[in-house]
Amino acid sequence: MRGSLVAYACVAAALLSPGPASAQTSAAFHPTRPVTIIVPYSPGGGTDVVGRLVARSLEEMWGQNVIVDNRTGGSGSVGAALAARAAPDGHTMVLAVSGIAINAHLMKLPYDTVTAFAPVTAVSYPVATLLAAPSLPASDLTELQALVKKEGPDKRTFASPDPGSRLIAERIFEQAGIKLLNVPYKGAASFVGDISAGRVDTGLASVTSGLSLINAGKLKSLGIMGTQRIPALPNVATFKEQGFSGLDENSWAGLFAPAGTPPDVVAAIQQDIATVLARPEVRAKMAELGSLPGGDTPAAFTARFQRDIRDSGETIRRLGMTAE
């Protein structure tokens, strides 16, 4: 199993690596005090786990403490607002998931999502999975489709910890031609137990968030996003394998500095993170957690961020989603 994870990490490196990066701290960014990475989600969730993994390596590289500060609330907007107001010098950043691009369409925010941040890089591409209780009479999305069509719309429920997860779940159900009733939660860590206990039928989360309960037999996966199976869940088919189109692209967990951070500082931080993400042990750990490493250039990540803001608005209008 370990060998397959390392092999998977090497494939991911070839596909996603932005190119060679110096193993030394870039000249444009030498932290002069501890660096804070705000994670605007609950401790123990997928983004928190990846953030702490990367922070440990950055501490070694920078010779400074890298503090992971969990500031929950507002579907990530509370922590994002703190980062937006921070000094634009690289010492305070926020590690947010793609839901930050969606919040602008559903929430009144104390910042302008388009202009408040300097996107640094995608740190990871968490593989999303549709979780269900072991007692649910469906083992994959195809069987859930048949079950919901038999019982009727809104008879079954799905949990969503944030607008981004809800949007992806709604897209999955749209492709399957079914409708489930949404039950909002605050953070993935708060709903996986309820799914396991059967209090809610399904929920979308990163593989990282649900993997321990899946392995313990307390949750099951009905399918994953992406184009190929992953070593962490080798027996779980992608939605594409199950015959559902348009569900190939995973979301991201990306690092953002405050707007006004000098471009050379942003570029230097991205290069350092790319160096960390190129380490075989980091890639293997991410593969083990069911996540693909990022490392995109600031320009590439900015383009993805802007596209997601635009596309999510169009999808929200089409599905008739409203604020929770």
Q: DSSP secondary-structure letter at 248?
A: -
Quick one: 99 and 186 in the same domain? no
Indicate the number of domains in the chain. 2
Quick one: 139 and 92 in the same domain? no
Quick one: 111 and 133 in the same domain? no
> What strands lie across the sheet with 253-258, from one edge to the other?
66-70, 35-39, 92-97, 253-258, 117-126, 291-293
Quick one: 68 and 206 in the same domain? no
Q: How far is CA 123 from CA 192, 196, 273, 320, in A?
A: 24, 29, 8, 31
- Arithmetic mean of pLDDT, 198-225: 93
pLDDT exceeds 80 at position 208: yes
Quick one: 155 and 216 in the same domain? yes
pLDDT at 16: 41
pLDDT at 140: 98
pLDDT exceeds 80 at position 160: yes
Q: For position 183, which CATH number holds?
A: 3.40.190.10
Task: pLDDT band for 19, please (50, 70, 90 cuts).
Answer: very low
- Arithmetic mean of pLDDT, 288-298: 92
pLDDT exceeds 50 at position 12: no
Quick one: 105 and 132 in the same domain? no
Q: What are the tens digits of pLDDT across the range 170-186?
A: 999 999 999 999 998 87
244 lies in some domain: no
pLDDT at 323: 67
pLDDT at 324: 56
* Cβ–Cβ under 8 Å, residues 175 and 245: yes
Question: Domain range holding 157?
Answer: 128-224
Domain-ending residue, one of 182, 207, 224: 224
pLDDT at 188: 64
pLDDT at 295: 97
Q: Which residues contact 14 (CB under 8 A, 6 or more apart)?
A: none
pLDDT exceeds 60 at position 159: yes
pLDDT at 15: 38
Q: Is 90 left (phi over 0), alpha (psi -120 to 50) or beta?
A: left
Quick one: 21 and 132 in the same domain? no
Q: For position 36, which CATH number holds?
A: 3.40.190.150
235 lies in some domain: no
243 lies in some domain: no
Quick one: 122 and 270 in the same domain? yes
Task: pLDDT band for 27, please (50, 70, 90 cuts).
Answer: low
**Average pLDDT over the chain, rounded to an integer:** 89
Domain-ending residue, one of 163, 190, 224: 224
Quick one: 71 and 7 in the same domain? yes
Q: What are the tens digits of pLDDT across the range 33-51?
A: 999 999 998 888 888 999 9
Quick one: 212 and 292 in the same domain? no
Q: Which of 24-28, 115-119, 124-128 has the highest mean pLDDT?
A: 115-119
Quick one: 31 and 121 in the same domain? yes
261 lies in some domain: yes
92 lies in some domain: yes
63 lies in some domain: yes
Q: What are the tens digits of pLDDT across the range 52-96?
A: 999 999 999 999 999 999 999 888 999 999 999 999 999 999 999
238 lies in some domain: no
Domain-ending residue, one of 164, 190, 224: 224
Distance CA 133, CA 169 (A): 16
pLDDT at 75: 84
pLDDT at 64: 96
Quick one: 31 and 122 in the same domain? yes
303 lies in some domain: yes
CA-based max dimension of the chain: 62
pLDDT at 189: 66
Task: pLDDT band for 6, please (50, 70, 90 cuts).
Answer: very low
